[in-house]
Structure 1
Amino acid sequence: MRMKTIRPGLRPFALAAGVLLLAGCASAPPRAEPPALELPAARWSDAAAVPADSAAALPAWRDLVRDARLREVIALALENNRDLRVALLGVEQARATYQVQDATRRPTLNATGSSSTSFTPAEASSSGRDTLNRSYSVGVGISAWELDLFGRVASLRDAALQSYLNTEAAQRATRLTLIGDVATAWLTLGTDRRLLALARRTLASQQDTLRLTERRQALGAASGLTLEQTRTTVETARGQVAALESQVQRDRHALELLVGRAVPEALLPTDADTGTDEAAGLVGLPDALASTVLQRRPDVIAAEHLLQGSRADLEAARAARFPRISLTASAGTASRQLGDLFAGGAWSFVPSVSWPILDGGTIEAGVARAEATRDLRRASYDKTVQTAFREVADALSVRASLAERLDAQRALVQAWTRSLTLAEARFRAGADSWLTVLDAQRSLHAAQQALITLELTEQSNRITLYKVLGGGNADR
């Protein structure tokens, strides 16, 4: 049987096709499964009864925030915050790095073309005549393309992919943190404005009482001790007003730093806002939560991608023990006449093999370093998961007692209000001293302050719980 031969002009392409087929048989390193989320599930008493996808019930931040002003402020922060912008640019950089690494898996085909002209005068020519030489050449070629027979290039690509995914998850974590921080700063500003309004009302009331006491003392109906005791309450209230005025300004500065620009007054909370559930800035969160919700936290996802990337780096380091095969091939044509440029063909095929024999232990040291990095990332992942669990458990513990604490504090305010009314009535009837009235006023003021602060704690707990659970699906 007669064997067919490959035409000389087609030989480089046939060889390249064979090499590509061989490269296609090279096996990439197996994809490692993400580590299991090891949690003390017994601490989640309802874990078995709650569906694994219960985190889907968490609202997006726009649904979490009840107040339209706060929604607008958060939207401004997402547009202008510098830290978030840096995180977004980091994602773009990591994506480009991955694309560059991914491109190394495929050969680079270059097209070349050249033309040269030389002139030799008769005095320097062996023929004794002026000589004009022209030459033209065109070609295509593959330059130093590595055949990934042992998965080194694929592992490097996977490491770059995991780095990109880690950066993307870190950006989502930054975004979620920003949403929570802005909401907390806005609510804190509103709380301090309410405290300032309360302090001003208290100061005005104490000043009225001081004027009344001064008139009573002038008429001999009040002692000098009573007058001085009343004056101390006025000065104390005035000091609180000054301190809270400064605190409100600092709160606004902190909020505008997070937003990245000045916030219009119309978007800020006022001292008329209340901390009741109907008027608060945030809605409640679902009661049923499964422990698997922690797997959706951006920081846990980022730590997982770091771990997966270290495994890919380890595979690449191990593959460095094996030969590296590179291919350089070209095919083209050359001619002295432009019209005959495509009449003839030329080609070259230059495979090369590099196999380290003596490297002073560099490769093994690289493998050991990659193994240590993998173990470090695994430990870091475990710590991230444990930290996430502790944060959620702490937030849930605080949440469990807040309703009862709020009820008790509201009852305390009502009790001190009644006590003050009775103390004032007894003082007017001459049955009690003015000191009893002052004590009741101070106690009522302290109870009202504590109630306002506790209402902020309840709202902040909703934010904290939302953050530590990883936010809603729309925030990812």
Structure 2
Amino acid sequence: MSQRYFQLTALSVLTTLALAGCSLAPNYERPAAPVPALYPDAPPAGTATQSASAAADLGWREFFRDPRLLALIEIALQNNRDMRIAVERVQEARAQFGIQQSERLPTIGLGGNAQIQRNPENLRVGADAPSVSRYYQAGIGNTAFELDFFGRVKNLSEAAYQQYLATDQAQRTVHISLVAQVAEAYFALRTAELQQDLVQKTLQSRQNTYDLVKTRYDIGVAGALDLNQAKGQVESARADLQNIKRVQSRALNTLQLLAGQPLPADLPAPSVFGKDQLLAAVPVGLPSDLLVRRPDIIGAEHALMGANANVGAARAAFFPNISITGLLGFASPALGGLFSSSQRFWSFAPQLTMPIFSGGVSGNLDLAKARKNIAVAQYEKTIQTAFKEVADALAGEATYAGQLDALRSLEDSALQTLKLAQLRYDSGIDSFLQVQSAEITLYTAQQQFLQTGLDSLMNRVELYKALGGGWTETTSAAGANPAPAGASAG
């Protein structure tokens, strides 16, 4: 009994030493963010967008105001196939981490084997030895458990853990992108509906103008040039109508693809389409906030930390690899007496290997270092890309309101010009060319106003997305994304 106790105690001590092995991974330090400390075109300090909580904590149910859009986002989050793939990727990475983590503990199991062998006479031990030898063995033991004194297995486990965390952040990135894509497809559809209404009204107005010119032509007041110009205006509007119908169908198809199912017929009624579709102001914060708010940046840092751990595993390969195989049980030449107390058996087989001339070990370390340098560059590029996306959206926020005001004024002016041109044509002062030019100017201004209004909405959605917004459903008081620098598998 004391011998068995000694064996179990020794195994426990060796396991503890292995789990407490040192790590040869470089000390991790977060790279400095290669971006300015402030955004260009950022709102002045103290404004609503600066004093509010972080955009990443702003729930999409508070940011978007249209009941139909909110229902579509909820459907997409449940049924979108990209979202499902992202969720399963997390489960896959979690399973991979579990497999790698299990390598840090010995695999202990029950087993048994039998060997029955016939030897020719000249190979038998002793003259009276039987021609057939039998050997039976059963017990509990472990096979080739590595004692991780230099942290190789620990660092491999850490790398798998960081990959799991990076994949989890990738799922959040897909979630945020999906919310923004549904909103943008919905706004594109609503804008196409408004454009179709505009084109239909324009077509009707130009048809009325053509009918008037045709009447004047029939009585000899208008010439063939005026008639052809009026007809050209009608056909141009008719062509635009077909184009906008195509745009509307494609926007609907995109929305249905994102939703992952046919759109239900019982969706809530939409709100009046306009600037009130979205929250008026998005909290911007500072570029440094992106490091702990944007899931793609957090994921890139986890990937960097995993690459750092792989360097430690590659370094450990230069040191001796110590593994043990042990068995505690019974052995007997006869199956019937295998489990008697006199047939107790144990074996202990430590093994040590040490690389001497192995180019692969050195090459693996060089490979791990190169991959770490790549991960650093990818992390820094992710930060720079995020900074650009926020800066671009802020540039839009700073200019779209003024542009819309100018287009609104242009539309009013074009409308007055058309009325004057129509009056002068009816009075015989000007040709129909002036009316045609005024109609084109008004129509173009109206189209530009609708398109710029859509661009303005899209820009605010992009700002919300670029700041990490769209992950939470309802607004939270505190950040949901902690900084990952201290995250570890343990």
TM-score by length of 2: 0.84
Matched, 1:410 2:405: no
The 5-angstrom pairing of residues 4-403 of structure 1 reads 7-29=2-24, 32-43=28-39, 54-55=53-54, 58-113=57-112, 138-264=138-264, 267=267, 275-278=273-276, 280=277, 282-295=278-291, 296-334=293-331, 341=339, 343-344=341-342, 345-359=344-358, 361-403=359-401
Counterpart secondary structure, 2:472: helix
The answer to which of 418-427 and 376-385 deviates more is 418-427
The answer to whether 1:424 aligns with 2:419 is no
Secondary structure in structure 2 of the residue aligned to 1:408 = helix
CA gap of 1:53–1:164, structure 2 versus 1, over 3 A, is farther
Q: Does the aligned pair in 2 maintain the 1:314–1:367 contact within 8 Å?
A: yes
Contact 1:303–1:377, Cα closer than 8 Å, also in 2: yes
- Separation of aligned partners in 2, 1:226 and 1:254: 42
Partner SS, residue 341 of structure 2: coil
Deviation at 1:275, TM superposition (A): 4.3
SS in 1 for 2:32: coil
CA contact 2:51–2:283 (8 Å) conserved in 1: no
Q: Which moved more, 1:261-270 or 1:78-87?
A: 261-270
| Residue 448 (structure 1) shift | 1.0
* Alpha-carbon shift at residue 171 of structure 1 (Å): 1.8
Q: 1:461 aligns with which of 443, 459, 465?
A: 459
2:445 to 447, 452, 457: 447
Greater mean deviation of Cα atoms: 327-336 or 102-111: 327-336
Deviation string, structure 1 residues 213-253 (Cα, Å, up to 9, x no partner) = 21122222322222222111111111111211222222222
Contiguous gaps of at least 5 residues in structure 2: 118-125, 474-480, 482-490
Aligned residue in 1 for 2:487: none
Cα distance, 1:406–1:389 mapped onto 2, change above 3 Å:
same
Give the 3 Å change call, closer, same or farther, for CA 357–48 of structure 1 in structure 2.
farther
Q: CA deviation at 1:267?
A: 4.6
Q: Give deviations 1:398-430, integer Å, cap 9, x for gaps.
A: 110011111111122122223323333444444
Q: Give 1:46 deviation, angstroms.
A: 6.8
The one-character-per-residue Cα deviations of 1:67-118 (angstroms, maximum 9, x if unpaired) are 1111222222222222222222221111100100001101111122568999
SS of match in other structure, 1:34 = coil
The one-letter code sitting in structure 2 at the alignment partner of 1:201 is K
Give the residue type in structure 2 aligned to 1:27: C
CA–CA distance in structure 2, aligned partners of residues 157 and 48 of structure 1: 45
Measure the CA separation in 2 of the matches of 1:163 and 1:116.
45
Please give the secondary structure, in 1, of the residue aligned with 2:110. strand
Distance 1:207 1:354 in 2: 91
**1:339 Cα shift?**
8.6
| Cα 1:238–1:11 shift into 2, 3 Å | same
Question: 2:373 & 2:84 partners in 1: Cα distance?
Answer: 32
SS in 2 for 1:221: coil
Q: Which moved more, 1:402-411 or 1:55-64?
A: 55-64
Question: Which residue identity does 2:171 align to in structure 1?
Answer: Q
Task: Tell whether the 8 Å contact from 1:56 to 1:473 is kept in structure 2 after alignment.
Answer: no
Could you tell me how far apart the structure 1 residues matched to 2:357 and 2:248 are? 69
Label 1:162 to 1:25 Cα distance change in 2 as closer, same or farther (>3 A): closer
Residues 29 and 315, structure 1, Cα contact 8 Å, conserved in 2: yes
| Compared CA separation, residues 255 and 268, structure 1 to 2 (3 A) | farther
CA-based RMSD: 3.2
> Is the alpha carbon distance of 1:208 and 1:112 closer, same or farther for their aligned partners in structure 2, counting shifts above 3 Å?
same
**SS in structure 1 of the partner of residue 8 of structure 2:** helix
The separation in 2 between residues aligned to 1:114 and 1:293, in whole angstroms, is 61
Q: CA deviation at 1:197?
A: 1.4
- How far apart are the structure 2 equivalents of 1:370 and 1:337? 52
1:51 Cα offset (Å): 7.8
> 1:140 is paired with a residue of what secondary structure?
strand
Query: What does the per-residue CA deviation read over 1:39-61, in whole Å, with 9 as the maximum and x for residues that have no partner?
Result: 21144567987989942565222
Deviations 1:4-35 (A, max 9, x none): xx833333223213323432442235662433
The 2-side partners of 1:20 and 1:396 are apart by 56
* TM-aligned CA distance change 1:406 to 1:56, over 3 Å: closer
Partner of 2:58, secondary structure, is: coil
Distance 1:291 1:313, change over 3 A: same
Comparing 326-335 and 61-70, the one that deviates more:
326-335
**Cα distance in structure 1, aligned partners of 2:116 and 2:146:** 36
Distance 2:257 2:167 in 1: 24
Per mean C-alpha deviation after superposition, the further-off stretch among 169-178 and 48-57 is 48-57
Relative distance call for 1:412 and 1:319 in structure 2 (3 A) is: same
Unpaired stretches in structure 1, ≥5 consecutive residues: 1-5, 119-125
Question: Secondary structure in 2 aligned to 1:41?
Answer: coil
- Counterpart CA distance in 1 for 2:218 and 2:45 is 75
User: What one-letter code is carried by the residue in structure 2 that aligns with 1:452?
Assistant: L
Q: What is the TM-score of this pair, normalised by structure 1?
A: 0.87
